[in-house]
Amino acid sequence: MKKLYLFVILIIIVIVGTYILMNQGKDKNTSSENNTTQNESTQSATDNKKFTLEEIATHNSEDDCYLIIEDKVYNVTSFISSHPGGQAILQGCGTDATTLFETKPMGSNTPHSQSARNLLQSYYIGDLI
């Protein structure tokens, strides 16, 4: 009977050990994937893709919205639904929205906050040529 208990304990240890090892491998893979995605994101931001005003003008809808602010191009399509100013952001789609960004004519008529400017950087995709 004592041998049976030892055998069951040994089997449990092997199963738990295998489970732990398998999960550690998944964590390493996830971490590696996150680093790859982060590196790709950093790389694409530093590639500084160049856009013409004509190209930007084609991205002028709620489903595809690029803005130009101070000669930098931002793809804000995924931000539209969470924009604190509601649909006001749509006025700038496909255009140079620098004045809109600086004056918020449909809102407070004041420039966007520093936190909005910081958030904007996450949508940066290139420069206007």
pLDDT tens, residue by residue, 26-77:
544 444 444 444 444 444 444 689 999 999 999 999 999 999 999 999 999 9
The rounded distance, in Å, linking the Cα atoms of 98 and 71 is: 8
The rounded distance, in Å, linking the Cα atoms of 35 and 58 is: 33
Kindly report whether the global pTM for this prediction surpasses the value 0.75. Answer: no
10: confidence class by pLDDT, cuts 50, 70, 90: low
**Alpha-helical segments (H) within the chain:** 2-46, 53-57, 98-103, 114-120
pLDDT at 37: 45
Would you say residue 25 has pLDDT above 60? no
The rounded distance, in Å, linking the Cα atoms of 45 and 47 is: 6
